[in-house]
A and B are shown apart, each in its own frame.
Chain A
Amino acid sequence: MIGRRLCLALVAVLAFVLAACGGGGTSSSGPTEIAVWHGYQDTEGDVFKGLIDQYNKSHPDVKVTELYSSNDLVLQKVLTAVRGNSAPDVAYMFGSWSPNIAKIPQLVNMSDVVSAPDWKWDDFYPAEREAATVGDKIVGVPALVDNLAIVYNKKLFADAGVAPPSPNWTWDDFRAAAAKLTDPAKGQYGWLIPADGSEDTVWHYVPMLWEAGGDILSSDNQHAVFNSEAGVKALTTLQQMAVTDKSLYLDTTNENGPKLMNSGKVAMLVTGPWDLSSLSDIEYGVQVMPTFAGSSGAHQTISGPDNWVVFNNGDKKKKAALDFVKWLTAPEQVKAFSLGTGDLPTRVSVGKDQELLAKMNETLPGSVTFVENLNNVKKVRPQVEQYPAISEALGQAIVSVMLGKEQPAAALNSAVQAADTALAGK
Chain B
Amino acid sequence: MPLLLGRLGRTESLSGWALVSPAAVLIGIFGLLPVVMSLVLSFQHSDLLTPETPWVGLDNYRKLAEDPVFVEAIKHTIIYTALFVPGTMLVGLFVASAMNRSVRFISVYRTTAYITMAVSTISQGIIFLWLTDRDYGLVNAALNSVGVPSQPFLASPSQALYVIVAMTIWGWTGFSVIVYLAALQGVPAELHEAAAIDGATAFTRFRTITVPLLGPANLFLVVWLTINALQLFDEVYATTRGGPLRSTTVIVYYLWDRAFVQFDAGYAAAMAYALFVVILLITAVQFRIARKHAHIS
Contacts and interface: CB of A to CB of B under 8 A. Distances in A.
Interface of A: 75-76, 79, 82-83, 100-101, 103-105, 187, 195-198, 249-250, 252-254, 265, 385, 388-389, 392, 396, 399-400, 403, 405
B244 A195 contact: yes
Nearest to B261: A388
Interface in B188-243: 239-241, 243
Contacts of B48: 79, 83
Given A388-B263, A403-B157, A103 B240 contact: no
Interface string B49-66: 111000000000000000
B268 interface: no
12 contacts: A75-B260, A79-B260, A82-B49, A83-B51, A101-B49, A104-B49, A196-B243, A196-B244, A198-B241, A265-B135, A388-B263, A389-B262
B139 interface: no
The main secondary structure of chain B at its interface with chain A is: loop
B246 interface: yes
Contacts of A396: 245-246
Nearest to B45: A426
Contact of B241 (A83, A105, A196): A196
Which of A253, A385, A405: most chain B CB closer than 10 A? A253
B47 A252 contact: no
B129 interface: yes
B190 to A, nearest CB: 26
A196 B50 contact: no
A388 B262 CA distance: 6
A405 B240 contact: no
Contact of A399 (B49, B51, B244): B244
A82 B50 CA distance: 9
Given A75-B260, A388-B263, A252 B50 contact: no
A105 B245 contact: no
B156 to A, nearest CB: 8
B135 A187 contact: yes
Contacts of B157: 403, 405
A423 B260 CA distance: 18
Given A75-B260, A101-B49, A252 B245 contact: no
A104 B136 contact: no
Contact of B245 (A83, A101, A405): A405
B155 interface: yes
B240 A196 contact: yes
B262 A399 contact: no
B73 interface: no
Interface in B237-294: 239-241, 243-246, 260-263
Given A195-B244, A197-B243, A396-B245, A250 B260 contact: no
Contact of B240 (A79, A252, A400): A252
A383 to B, nearest CB: 15
A399 B49 CA distance: 31
A149 B138 CA distance: 33
B244 A197 contact: yes
B263 A100 contact: yes
B143 to A, nearest CB: 15
Contact of B243 (A82, A389, A399): A399
Nearest to A197: B243
A103 B49 contact: yes
A106 to B, nearest CB: 9
Nearest to B154: A252
Interface string B123-155: 000000100000110000000000000000011
A176 B97 CA distance: 59
B49 A100 contact: yes
A96 to B, nearest CB: 10
A250 B155 contact: yes
Contacts of B243: 196-197, 252, 399
Interface in B19-68: 47-51
- From A100, A197, A252, A265, name the one whose CB has the most chain B CB atoms within 10 angstroms: A252
Contacts of B239: 253
Contacts of A79: 48-49, 260
Contacts of B244: 195-197, 252, 399, 403
A400 B245 contact: yes
A187 B239 CA distance: 22
Contacts of B154: 252-253
Contacts of A75: 260
A105 B47 CA distance: 12
Pick the 9 closest A-B CB pairs, nearest first: A103-B49, A79-B48, A252-B155, A104-B49, A187-B135, A197-B243, A253-B129, A103-B50, A388-B262
Contacts of B49: 79, 82, 100-101, 103-104
Given A249-B135, A396-B245, 11 more contacts: A75-B260, A79-B49, A103-B47, A104-B50, A197-B244, A253-B129, A253-B239, A265-B135, A265-B136, A388-B262, A400-B245
Contacts of A249: 135
